[in-house]
Amino acid sequence: MPELPEVEVSRMGISPHLMHQKIDRITVRQRQLRWLIPDELHQLEGQVITSVRRRAKYLLIDTDAGTAIIHLGMSGSLRVLENAPAAEKHDHVDLILSNGKVLRYNDPRRFGAWLWCPPGESHQVIDNCGPEPLSDDFDADWMAQRARNKSVAVKTFIMNNAHVVGVGNIYASESLFSAQIHPKKPAGQLSAKQWRRLVSEIKLVLTRAIEQGGTTLKDFSQADGKPGYFAQELLVYGRAGEPCKVCGQVISEMKIGQRNTFFCEKCQAI
């Protein structure tokens, strides 16, 4: 599933092509994605795009008439095309601009979404999101306060969007390794020093991933079709059975909250 860096890279890729352009029409070939695409989405037709934003793992395309909210799901991708070729099987939505370019949404598994939000309102999918991890609102004091007396594993805790958005499975494992914190350690037992280090590592890991264009594992590629390269920098994720790049200990794997979790038992001793 595309995580926050991949979504941010998509936003950066499509934004220059969409900003201040008028939407001529929207073609919906398949309405049934994760949720049914609402008819209100066609209110974007004839509107000028005023901004392209990201909130958590959602992309928001703003106009004066309202906002399209896009989620890439597990396999969704966006392309900006000139002289767009005929749509293929999984090309479900086209946003056709007056300059002739087309924003095309492809989603083989159809777990993504195109939602609608009227102007001046918010949408339930992002109403309860916590702070953005790369913002000043996300800091060690915030996390320590939220984690007080919590027995849940710290990996599960930092992946909860109510505490901080967009720290998905890959980047949770990588950040915990860099911070030398065992993923099963109860969140309420982290010291203030550990929270400062973990928050710092989350910011660093996500920033590096964005700079590298995201992590390509199976389905994600950038808006220009080029893959992300952060996978080449992964220290623990997907490396079970391989030697730790820091100490040489074999990387371990276990399930936490039904998610595969990778860690070094020596570097991250509980």
- Averaged pLDDT for residues 243-269: 97
> Is residue 193 part of an annotated ligand binding site?
no
Among 11, 57, 185, 197, which one carries the catalytic annotation?
Answer: 57
pLDDT of amino acid 13 = 87
150 is in an annotated binding site: yes
Lowest mean pLDDT among 24-28, 43-47, 172-176, 224-228: 224-228
The verdict on pTM exceeding 0.85 is: yes
233 is catalytic: no
CATH of 140-263, one of 2.130.10.10, 3.10.580.10, 3.40.50.450, 1.10.8.50: 1.10.8.50
Q: What is the mean pLDDT of the chain?
A: 92
Q: Could you give the percent of the chain with pLDDT greater than 90?
A: 81
225 or 41, which is more confident: 41
Is 20 among the annotated ligand-binding positions? no
- Name the catalytic one among 110, 196, 208, 259: 259
Give the whole-angstrom CA distance, residue 148 versus residue 161. 17
Q: Which residues are CB-contacts of 75 (< 8 A; sequence separation ≥ 6)?
A: 107, 108, 109, 111, 112, 218, 219
Q: Is 259 a catalytic residue?
A: yes
Topology of domain 4-127, per CATH?
N-terminal domain of MutM-like DNA repair proteins (3.20.190)
On the question of pLDDT at 223 being above 80, the answer is no
pLDDT class of 227 with cuts at 50, 70, 90? very low
Query: Could you confirm whether 53 is annotated as catalytic?
Result: no
Mean pLDDT within 118-137:
94
Distance CA 12, CA 42 (A): 24
* 16 annotated active-site: no
